[in-house]
Structure formats: structure tokens, C-alpha cells
């Protein structure tokens, strides 16, 4: 039995708040933090590998997995299904590995309401201001003005769900936010429910106490 049970770490934020950079830094920080590989029904793109970039499933298989409770969360986006398979996540946390989810508030709610919900740690990343959020999106140089406008329109809907998360951090300084994330994860790993070996340890203490009485 692993000394601790892994966490389901949920990171959510509006686009441009720094979530992807923070996710990458967390994985670089600790090899026990794994990124959840999503399943999708869209066709693989050039260079994508099944099981590494995505688990590529047929519509029929995806729907069957949802019906059988094998998806922790799922959504239908632009004509295709996306979701987080439960099996690999459950296997990872039972081995003491943490699984990191880069998902929106709807996916976060589904995972928190699943039978693995008691092992979740949810964190929302806020931008310091809306003006700074727009500046970051524009400085990336990846999106057209039209796409940026759509992302900005969507950002408030995402931010409005901030109170549904365990922790909320304002990312006005990347290094400080990264340090805070690491502290939160380190503390959550010590939660009683994450330490299955405690039961046996307390039982041993009880037996020792009774022998000395």
C-alpha cells in the first residue's frame, strides 16, 4: 500500500491567467504530479500519439464509457466529445501519484461530485485585472483579435465560479503564485484521508498502549 493516496488537482482559470504555465511548472517540480490524458472522439492530428496526447475513442465507445461511469467528467465541444477517463486516474492515485487537471468549472464540478471527489484539491487562478488579462492574451501573439474578443467574453463566466473552489490565487506574480501552489499541495497531501497507512499506525499504537496497561 502506498504511504499516501494521490490527489486530483484541479486548476481552472480564464484563458491568459497563467494556468498552463503553472501546470507545467508543477510537473517539473515533482515527478509524482502527472497530467491527466483526456479522451476525445475527434480524429488525431498530425504528430499526435494515442495514449500520450489523447485517448482517441469512437463515439460509441465514448458514450458507453460515460454510461458505465468510466468518465470522471466529459463535455461536447465543437462537434466532438472530450473527457477524463477514470481508470488511469484511480490507478495513479492508488500508487501515490497526483493527477493534474486543466479544466473549466463545469468539469471541476463533475469531478468533485464523482466517487473520487473526496480526493480532489481545486484551485482557481485569477488575473490581477481584466486589463492585464487582455494584455497577456495579446502579448502571446497566438490568437486573432476576434479570438481574443471571444476569450475575453468568456472570461467573466469562468471567473464568476471562483467561490466553488477550495483555494483562489491571484496570479500577479508568477513565482509567488507557483510557491503558493506548492505549499497548498504539500499541505493537502497530509490530509487524513490521503494517508491510508494511518489506520494501521493508530491500531499499532493502541495495541502497544494496551500491552503496557
Give me the residue spans of the domains in the chain: 8-212
- The gap from C-alpha 181 to its chain's centroid, in whole angstroms, comes to 13
Residues 6+ apart with CB under 8 A from 36: 84, 88, 89, 99, 100, 101, 102
Q: Please give the chain's pLDDT, 213 residues, in tens.
A: 568 999 999 999 998 899 989 999 999 999 999 999 999 999 998 999 999 999 999 999 999 999 999 999 999 987 899 999 999 999 999 999 999 998 999 999 999 999 999 999 999 999 999 999 899 888 887 778 888 888 888 899 999 999 999 999 999 999 999 999 999 999 999 999 999 999 999 999 999 999 997
Number of H helices, E strands in the chain: 8, 9
Domain 8-212 is found in CATH 3.40.718.10 = no
Task: Write down the residue that cell numbers 486589463 correspond to.
Answer: 131
What sign does the CA torsion over 146, 151, 153, 154 have?
positive
pTM: 0.88
Amino acid at each position: 500500500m502506498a504511504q499516501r493516496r494521490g490527489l486530483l488537482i484541479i486548476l481552472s482559470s480564464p484563458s491568459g491567467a497563467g494556468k498552463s504555465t503553472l501546470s507545467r511548472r508543477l510537473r517539473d517540480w515533482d515527478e509524482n504530479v502527472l497530467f491527466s490524458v483526456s479522451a476525445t472522439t475527434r480524429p488525431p492530428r498530425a504528430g499526435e500519439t494515442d495514449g500520450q496526447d489523447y485517448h482517441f475513442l469512437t463515439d460509441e465507445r465514448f458514450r458507453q464509457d460515460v454510461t458505465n461511469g468510466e468518465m470522471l467528467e466529459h463535455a461536447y465541444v465543437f462537434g466532438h466529445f472530450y473527457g477524463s477517463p477514470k481508470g488511469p486516474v484511480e490507478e495513479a492515485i492508488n500508487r501515490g501519484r497526483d493527477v493534474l487537471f486543466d479544466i473549466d468549472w463545469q468539469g471541476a464540478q463533475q469531478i468533485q461530485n464523482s466517487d473520487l471527489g473526496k480526493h480532489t484539491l481545486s484551485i482557481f487562478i485569477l488575473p490581477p485585472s481584466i486589463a492585464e488579462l487582455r494584455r497577456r492574451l495579446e502579448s502571446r501573439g497566438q490568437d486573432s483579435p476576434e479570438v481574443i474578443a471571444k476569450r475575453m467574453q468568456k472570461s467573466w463566466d469562468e471567473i464568476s465560479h471562483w467561490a466553488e473552489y477550495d483555494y483562489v490565487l491571484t496570479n500577479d506574480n508568477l513565482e509567488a503564485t507557483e510557491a503558493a501552489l506548492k505549499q497548498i499541495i504539500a499541505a493537502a497531501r497530509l490530509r487524513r484521508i490521503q494517508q491510508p497507512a494511518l489506520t494501521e499506525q493508530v491500531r499499532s499504537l493502541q495495541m502497544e498502549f494496551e500491552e503496557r496497561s
